[in-house]
């Protein structure tokens, strides 16, 4: 994929986040004035001459390496992530984004610290693939904050956080965790799917690689698979190299749907939030009391300061879902089933 820093476009003017998701990454001048980029279905490129081909003299080189469509979504996400983002890679799913980001950091003999509240398949990847490659993983209490220092080993290379955590929704002290990790020379990765960079610009809080399952809120309509990894200047080269060497890319139609979904992210998240809070209240009323750890619920989901760092709101619908699960599945029996099988179930 192309490095967006080399594309020659001038930096965009500062805009509010909700405006930015509508305008970011757009370049109508390149598409005859049309607002959106065309969907490039592309593999082989034709170069003006053999010499140009041999010297790779072209802005785009091969479909897998990036097209104007993929570049538009990468640039849009980069703009939304803010000034600490040095580049974005698109992957075929959220899980592919997680595995690729991890692979871009670790090598045989390394140790990785992963939050106990991580999305289940993240743990499966660590136990199923990283272990086979000689990388060990241990899991830490998501509420441990700066206390994570005690979990470090001499070979700890990376810390993987997810906040709010999947299904249990603890808010991690990402800033404190990142400080400890950086002091010890480790890289910080975050699954930022729940908050999205609209509610939490993870790279501004010390995260080096911020991951999203774009399948969820960016897509927004359950009709695409998409993973994204946003990197800071310390990690972007290794990320891009890992993506390139692995031959990973995202299909053009899903990229386009991702771009289209992104444009309504702000209004959808606001509505999700309102619905989530209402569902949580209904579930609480139905069950008498709800013992959930959702941010703002008065339970130990993380400190107020930590929660306040998230722009406004987080994990909007899931917050309601979690309340339903904790209330015995009154509103969300599926979540209740999943939660009962989690190791961290004791926290409810
Ligand atoms: C928090 C989180 N991270 C990652 C993923 C994986 O995304 P995908 O289904 O696109 O692989 C999911 C999917 O549910 C998720 O909820």
pLDDT at 169: 82
**pLDDT confidence of residue 282:** 76
* pLDDT for 320 beyond 60: no
193 lines ligand 1 (CB under 6 A): yes
Percentage of the chain exceeding pLDDT 70: 77
Say what the pLDDT of residue 281 is.
Answer: 74
Spatial CB neighbours of 185, under 8 Å, sequence gap ≥ 6: none
**Largest distance between two CA atoms of the chain:** 75
pLDDT of the residue at 324: 40
Residues 166-224: pLDDT tens digits? 988 888 999 999 999 999 999 999 999 999 999 899 999 999 999 999 999 999 999 99
Does 306 have pLDDT greater than 90?
no
Task: Give me the residue spans of the domains in the chain.
Answer: 4-262, 265-347
Cβ(119) – ligand 1 distance below 6 Å: yes
Q: Is 314 in the pocket of ligand 1 (CB under 6 A)?
A: no
Q: What is the pLDDT of residue 11?
A: 55
Across the range 113-131, mean pLDDT stands at 97
**341 vs 92, residue with greater confidence:** 92
Q: In sequence order, which residues have a C-beta less than 8 Å from that of residue 323 and are 6 or more positions away?
A: 279, 280, 281, 283, 284, 290, 292, 294, 297, 331
Atom of ligand 1 nearest to the CA of 98: 4
- Atom 7 of ligand 1: nearest residue by CA position: 94
Known catalytic residues are: 64, 119, 191, 216
Q: How far is the CA of 236 from the centre of ligand 1 (A)?
A: 22
Pocket test residue of 121, 165, 167, 216 for ligand 1, highest count of atoms within 8 A of CB: 216
Q: What is the 3-state secondary structure (H, E, C) of 162-225?
A: ECCCCCCCCCCCHHHHHHHHHHCCCEEEEECCCCHHHHCCHHHHCCCEEEEECCCCCCCCCCCC
CA of 44 to the centre of ligand 1 (A): 31
CA–centroid distance, residue 174 to ligand 1 (Å): 20
Confidence of residue 31 (pLDDT cuts 50, 70, 90): very high
Is residue 206 within 8 Å of residue 188, measured between CB atoms? yes
- Tally Cβ neighbours within 10 Å of residue 85: 23
pLDDT at 328 over 80: no
Higher pLDDT, 94 or 322: 94
Judged by average pLDDT, the poorest of 37-41, 173-177, 184-188, 324-328 is 324-328
Confidence (pLDDT) at 336: 35
Ligand 1 atom nearest the C-alpha of 213 is 7
Residue (of 210, 160, 204, 211) closest to 181 by Cα position: 160
Residue with CA nearest ligand 1 atom 8: 94
213 Cα: distance to centroid of ligand 1 (angstroms)? 5
Could you tell me the fold of the domain covering 4-262?
3.40.640
Report pLDDT for 286: 63
pLDDT, residue 170, reads: 85
Q: Is 335 in the pocket of ligand 1 (CB under 6 A)?
A: no
**Among the listed ranges 198-207, 237-246, 272-281, which one has the minimum average pLDDT value?**
272-281
Does the C-beta of 71 come closer than 6 Å to ligand 1?
Answer: no
Question: In this model, does residue 107 exceed pLDDT 50?
Answer: yes
CA–CA dist 118, 161 (Å, integer): 7
**Amino acid 323: pLDDT:** 45
Cα of 10 to ligand 1 centre, how many Å?
34
Q: What confidence score (pLDDT) does residue 80 get?
A: 96
**Token digits for 294?**
């959702």
Residue range 244-257: mean pLDDT, rounded: 98
Q: What is the band of 5 on the pLDDT scale with cuts at 50, 70, 90?
A: very low
153/140 Cα distance (integer angstroms): 13
User: Ligand 1: does its nearest atom lie under 6 Å from the Cβ of 117?
Assistant: no
Cα-to-centroid distance, 54 and ligand 1 (Å):
40
Helix and strand numbers (H, E) in the chain are 13, 7
For atom 10 of ligand 1, the residue with the nearest CA is: 94
Mean pLDDT over the full length of the chain: 84
CA distances to 46, 153, 162, 290, 299 from 189, rounded to whole Å, are 38, 17, 8, 32, 26
Whether 212 lines ligand 1, by a CB cut-off of 6 Å, is no
Find out whether the beta carbon of 93 lies less than 6 Å from any atom of ligand 1.
yes
């Amino acid at each position: 994929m192309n490095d967006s820093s080399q594309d020659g476009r001038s930096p965009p003017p500062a805009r509010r986040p909700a405006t930015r998701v509508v305008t970011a990454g757009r370049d109508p001048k390149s598409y005859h004035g049309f607002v959106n980029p065309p969907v490039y279905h592309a593999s082989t490129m034709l170069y003006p001459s053999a010499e140009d081909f041999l010297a790779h003299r072209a802005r785009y080189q091969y479909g897998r390496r990036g097209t104007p469509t993929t570049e538009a979504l990468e640039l849009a996400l980069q703009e939304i992530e803010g000034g600490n983002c040095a580049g974005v890679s698109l992957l075929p799913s959220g899980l592919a984004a997680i595995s690729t980001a991890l692979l871009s950091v670790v090598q045989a003999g390394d140790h990785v610290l992963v939050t106990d509240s991580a999305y289940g398949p993240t743990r499966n990847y660590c136990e199923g693939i990283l272990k086979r490659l000689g990388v060990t993983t241990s899991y830490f209490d998501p509420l441990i904050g700066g206390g994570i220092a005690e979990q470090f080993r001499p070979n700890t290379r990376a810390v993987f956080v997810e906040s709010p955590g999947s299904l249990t929704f603890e808010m991690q002290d990402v800033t404190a965790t990142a400080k400890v990790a950086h002091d010890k020379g480790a890289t910080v990765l975050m699954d930022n799917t729940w908050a999205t960079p609209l509610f939490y610009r993870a790279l501004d809080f010390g995260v080096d690689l911020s991951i999203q399952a774009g399948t969820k809120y960016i897509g927004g309509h359950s009709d695409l698979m998409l993973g994204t990894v946003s990197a800071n200047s310390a990690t972007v080269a290794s990320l891009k190299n890992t993506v390139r060497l692995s031959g990973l890319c995202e299909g053009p139609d899903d990229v386009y749907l991702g771009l289209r979904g992104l444009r309504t992210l702000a209004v959808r998240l606001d509505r999700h939030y309102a619905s989530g809070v209402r569902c949580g209240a209904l579930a609480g009323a139905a069950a008498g009391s709800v013992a959930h750890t959702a941010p703002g619920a008065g339970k130990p989901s993380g400190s107020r300061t930590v929660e306040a760092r998230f722009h406004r709101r987080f994990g909007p619908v899931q917050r309601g879902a979690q309340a339903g699960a904790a209330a015995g599945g009154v509103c969300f029996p599926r979540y209740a089933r999943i939660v009962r099988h989690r190791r961290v179930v004791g926290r409810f």
